[in-house]
């Protein structure tokens, strides 16, 4: 553009429309996927907002080099387009947002598995959708034009953009966390919804978590096996199933006396179930709880998970082929320990690769791979199914067809009107969890197995249940009973009952912590070994009642562990009468 023409353009005032087209072009590649995620109610507004903010950085170089606007935009746009195609395609197929877990699954899968997934999920309409996505991006590019400013003013505006979008948040998070690494991690959370940072952050975090997991797996491989392990059913085919729930408080299950019919399917199966009604979790957080639930660690010896075999390793030593099917997030900083447990199994199925935990991801997805594992030809199998259960945010835990509880009917009087939607959504999540767990039991029963299925939740959840009706979620520093009370339910096949004592009527109300689960599981499975302590088995004649201790055993202050009885409400809780 000539100097005369440029002066005429700038004389008319700042070209806001030109800047708007620049922003819209760059926003489009991140924004379209985030918009679909938002309007489909897959997740909340945060990702859309952050993609909007991060898109503001790309017009900055256009302001500095206006004569090269089209070429620079094309160069950056091709990169953004390629990343957006991957992100959009993943959403089309899985209705999930791209994350480091996706990269983990990609590298864990072989070409045949990848082809199987594409064949199963790819639909014809995706081709025109991708073409339309590309065409809109090209049309937006054709509308771009230079936005001329005096060089000093352009540099100032570009600097303000970079400081506002990058510098200020990064410094703020660094000061808030106290470390550069902590600040960078929080900043990455902000930029991850936008392309291409979505791919770059995901890959960096994948590498970091993979290294951590490989270190844990190496340490686990050095743990010596159980001593003198014997299996009373070693010569018999057996299929044993462990279903791990999430955030489910038994006080909100009609199976345990809750007035609302939140577990209608399990209620129908009640006569076939052993329903233990006095079991708690030692910790109100998934990782910390399962470190004890799945190993020989407990509240008194919390670090034994590092030096003793896990439940999966124990069953492999007993000759079982092991499967791990999970709907939990896979490769995140918090869940690396869970992924390490899962990697100890012979086969794994990872279903939830969402970046954001507050995203619609339904547990019904576990049913198909569960049935596939049941059909496996191995004569002796352990199948672990890890559900997302009733984890917050509850409205994302169930499909619309399970939106049954919508009003105040059945809601305690102390729950405020503004709390009712959350209270109801939790009950709806429990209702859907009932459908999933009962479906697993029914599908398992249809195979006429020789074995049993055990279901328990990692921890509970207080959803305005405790006195005062003002507590939501979990807080170990301010414990309430609903955070710790969990369902503990067992079902056994007729074949298993024929050869095992399965009458637990006298044991159903024994006080028990799930931190001792590995002893109960081994006892139920007919295993014996030197490390087994039958006094810690809920179903053993040698059972010894112990105080139910909760709290963080790593805290150094006095009485970090407290007796659960101290936080139980004085009013008696509903008790289930086994029929």
Confidence of residue 568 (pLDDT cuts 50, 70, 90): confident
Q: Which residues contact 332 (CB under 8 A, 6 or more apart)?
A: 99, 100, 101, 205, 209
Alpha-helix runs per DSSP H in 483-544: 494-499, 517-525
- Kindly state whether residue 139 falls inside one of the protein's structural domains: yes
Looking at residue 485, what DSSP letter applies?
Answer: B
Run of H or E including 524: helix 517-525
Range of the domain at 448: 240-544
- Domain shared by 517 and 447, yes or no: yes
pLDDT given at position 365? 94
- Kindly state whether residue 220 falls inside one of the protein's structural domains: no
**Which candidate, 115, 122, 121, places its Cα nearest to that of 351?**
121
Query: Which class for 393: exposed (0-12), middle (13-18), buried (19 or more C-beta within 10 A)?
Result: middle
- Rounded CA separation 166/289 (Å): 37
pLDDT digits over 392-444, tens only? 889 999 999 999 999 999 999 999 999 999 999 999 999 999 999 999 999 99
Q: Which residues contact 405 (CB under 8 A, 6 or more apart)?
A: 260, 424, 427, 428, 431
- Kindly state whether residue 565 falls inside one of the protein's structural domains: no
- Domain shared by 155 and 246, yes or no: no
pLDDT given at position 574? 40
Is residue 425 within 8 A of residue 396, CB to CB? The reply is no
- Rounded CA separation 301/296 (Å): 8
Alpha-carbon torsion angle 226, 228, 232, 238, nearest 10: 30
- CATH classification of the domain holding 319: 3.40.720.10
- Kindly state whether residue 324 falls inside one of the protein's structural domains: yes
- Domain shared by 181 and 248, yes or no: no
pLDDT given at position 11? 41
Alpha-carbon torsion angle 489, 495, 496, 502, nearest 10: 70
- Domain shared by 156 and 114, yes or no: yes
Alpha-carbon torsion angle 490, 495, 501, 506, nearest 10: 40
Residue 297 has pLDDT above 50, yes or no: yes
Confidence of residue 100 (pLDDT cuts 50, 70, 90): low
- Domain shared by 347 and 403, yes or no: yes
Confidence of residue 101 (pLDDT cuts 50, 70, 90): low
Mean pLDDT in residue range 316-327: 96
- Kindly state whether residue 524 falls inside one of the protein's structural domains: yes
pLDDT digits over 160-181, tens only? 989 998 888 899 989 998 898 8
- Kindly state whether residue 219 falls inside one of the protein's structural domains: no
pLDDT digits over 179-188, tens only? 988 888 888 8
pLDDT digits over 197-234, tens only? 877 887 777 677 667 667 777 788 889 999 999 999 88
Residue 10 has pLDDT above 70, yes or no: no
Instruction: Tell me which of 191, 206, 221 is where a domain ends.
Output: 206
Q: How many domains does the chain have?
A: 2
Run of H or E including 488: strand 488-492
- Kindly state whether residue 225 falls inside one of the protein's structural domains: no
pLDDT given at position 185? 83
The span from the first CA to the last CA of the chain, in angstroms, equals 88
- Domain shared by 120 and 260, yes or no: no
- Domain shared by 183 and 276, yes or no: no
pLDDT digits over 484-526, tens only? 999 999 999 999 999 999 999 999 999 999 999 999 999 999 9
- Kindly state whether residue 214 falls inside one of the protein's structural domains: no
**HSE-up (13 A, CA, CB side) for residue 446:** 10
Place of tokens 């405790």: 466
Q: Which residue has the higher pLDDT, 102 or 447?
A: 447
pLDDT given at position 9? 44
- Domain shared by 350 and 465, yes or no: yes
Look up the pTM and report it: 0.73
Instruction: Tell me which of 206, 227, 249 is where a domain ends.
Output: 206
- Domain shared by 195 and 251, yes or no: no
Handedness of CA 253, 259, 261, 266 (dihedral sign): positive
- Domain shared by 295 and 393, yes or no: yes
pLDDT given at position 2? 43
Lowest pLDDT segment from 3-12, 108-117, 315-324: 3-12
- Domain shared by 385 and 453, yes or no: yes
- Domain shared by 199 and 286, yes or no: no
């Amino acid at each position: 553009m000539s100097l005369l023409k440029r002066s005429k353009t700038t004389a008319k005032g700042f070209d806001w429309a030109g800047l708007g087209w620049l922003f819209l072009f760059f926003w489009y590649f991140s924004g379209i996927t985030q918009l679909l995620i938002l309007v489909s109610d897959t997740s909340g507004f945060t990702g859309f907002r952050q993609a909007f903010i991060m898109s503001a950085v790309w017009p900055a170089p256009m302001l500095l080099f206006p004569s090269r606007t089209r070429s620079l935009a094309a160069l950056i746009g091709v990169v953004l387009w390629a990343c957006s195609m991957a992100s959009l395609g993943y959403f089309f197929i899985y209705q999930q947002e791209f994350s480091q877990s996706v990269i983990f699954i990609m590298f864990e899968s072989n070409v045949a598995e990848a082809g199987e997934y594409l064949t199963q999920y790819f639909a014809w309409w995706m081709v025109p959708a991708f073409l339309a996505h590309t065409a809109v991006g090209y049309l937006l590019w054709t509308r771009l034009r230079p936005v001329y400013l005096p060089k000093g003013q352009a540099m100032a505006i570009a600097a303000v953009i970079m400081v506002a979008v990058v510098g200020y948040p990064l410094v703020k998070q660094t000061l808030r966390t106290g470390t550069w690494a902590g600040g960078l991690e929080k900043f990455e959370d902000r930029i991850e919804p936008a392309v291409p940072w979505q791919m770059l952050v995901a890959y960096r975090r994948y590498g970091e978590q993979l290294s951590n997991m490989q270190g844990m797996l190496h340490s686990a491989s050095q743990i010596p096996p159980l001593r003198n392990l014997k299996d009373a059913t070693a010569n018999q085919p057996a299929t044993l199933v462990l279903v791990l729930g999430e955030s489910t408080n038994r006080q909100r299950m009609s199976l345990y006396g809750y007035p609302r019919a939140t577990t209608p399917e399990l209620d129908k199966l009640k006569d076939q179930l052993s329903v233990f009604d006095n079991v708690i979790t030692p910790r109100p957080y998934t990782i910390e709880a399962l470190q004890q639930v799945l190993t020989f660690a407990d509240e008194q010896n919390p670090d034994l998970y590092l030096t003793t075999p896990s439940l999966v390793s124990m069953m492999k030593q007993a000759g079982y082929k092991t499967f791990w099917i999970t709907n939990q997030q896979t490769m995140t900083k918090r869940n690396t320990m869970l992924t390490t447990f899962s990697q100890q199994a012979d086969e794994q199925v990872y279903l939830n690769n969402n970046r954001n935990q507050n995203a619609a991801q339904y547990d019904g997805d576990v049913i198909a791979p569960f049935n596939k594992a049941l059909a496996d030809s191995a004569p002796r199998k352990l199948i672990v199914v890890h559900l997302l259960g009733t984890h917050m945010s509850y409205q994302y835990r169930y499909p619309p067809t399970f939106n049954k509880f919508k009003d105040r009917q059945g809601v305690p009087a102390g729950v405020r009107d503004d709390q009712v939607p959350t209270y109801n959504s939790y009950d709806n999540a429990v209702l859907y969890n009932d459908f999933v767990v009962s479906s697993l039991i029914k599908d398992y029963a249809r195979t006429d197995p020789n074995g049993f299925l055990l279901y328990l939740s990692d921890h509970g959840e207080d959803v305005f249940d405790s006195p005062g009706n003002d507590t939501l979620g979990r807080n170990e520093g301010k414990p309430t009973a609903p955070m710790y009370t969990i369902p503990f339910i067992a079902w056994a096949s007729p074949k298993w009952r024929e050869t095992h004592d399965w009458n637990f009527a006298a044991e159903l109300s024994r006080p028990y912590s799930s931190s001792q689960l590995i002893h109960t599981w081994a006892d139920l499975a007919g295993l014996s070994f030197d490390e087994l302590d039958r006094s810690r088995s809920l179903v053993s004649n040698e059972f010894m009642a112990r105080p139910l201790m909760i709290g963080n055993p790593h805290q150094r202050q006095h009485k970090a562990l407290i007796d659960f009885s101290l936080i139980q409400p004085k009013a008696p809780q509903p008790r289930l009468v086994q029929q």
